[in-house]
Amino acid sequence: MHRFFVGNENISGDSVVLTGTDASHISTVLRLQAGDKIQVLDGKSSLYVVQLADVKAKLVKGEIISSEQVNTESPLKIHLGQSLIKGNKFDVILRKSVELGVETITPLMTERTVVKSDGDKKIARWQKIAEESCKQCGRSSIPNVSGKIVKLDVFCQQRSGTDLKLMFWELESENGLKDINPEKTPSSVSVLIGPEGGFTIEEVETARSHGFQTVGLGPRILRAETAPLVVLSLLQSKWGDI
């Protein structure tokens, strides 16, 4: 059954309305008709089975025939600060991060970022990618993609309240994730991952001044698009739900 996310404003009593690209997808791509059923999520763990009543290119109406509470979210809230990288690799990281249960994703402009700073134009597309990935992997909530690209120090300030703060740095040889053992199991963790050229010493010092611990990922240098997926998998295995 096809799955869609809607806001609370699209649900009124037992009625559901879908508009925009969702309506177009239902009517034009999937060619669903009145009487067909879809799943609708409100992003707050409520899952509805909806029977379509009226299908048009720009507006789809349906009636809720059943509902249940679902929660596929990790108990570990991971806030990813990911430096922009070349090509479409950031898109790939975004998709896979959603699959791996990240809570928020913040694009970073760091000292060694080599792409042009025009990413703010891509924010809406990135949020849409996150939504599409949620549909594919069965998540009950959509991770938030930051509304703007920020610098490293801004991200550090924004995430000052998280239980654990980790900067993954290829020059860190003493501490690996296995060496990070806080007294209390963290419920939230902020993660910094750099671009192709890594973080500068100045950025490392800035992060440390905000309480971030530097962590290595073993003796081999991972590609920029590989590192975040390894990190998220390890974090979910250690404190999350993998």
CATH number given to 77-239: 3.40.1280.10
How far is 128 from 91, CA to CA, in rounded Å? 11
Is this prediction's pTM over 0.85? yes
Dihedral of CA 147/150/154/159: which sign?
A: positive
CB 135 within 8 A of CB 3: yes
pLDDT single digits (tens) 182-224: 999 999 999 999 999 999 999 999 999 999 999 999 999 999 9
pLDDT single digits (tens) 101-142: 999 999 999 999 988 766 667 898 999 999 999 999 999 999
Domain boundaries 3-69, CATH class: mainly beta
pLDDT single digits (tens) 137-171: 999 999 999 999 999 999 999 999 999 999 999 99
Pairing relation of β-strands 11-12 and 46-55?
unpaired
* Domain definitions of the chain by residue range: 3-69, 77-239
Question: Do 3-69 and 77-239 share a fold?
Answer: no
pLDDT of residue 240: 97
Dihedral of CA 203/168/86/90: which sign?
A: negative
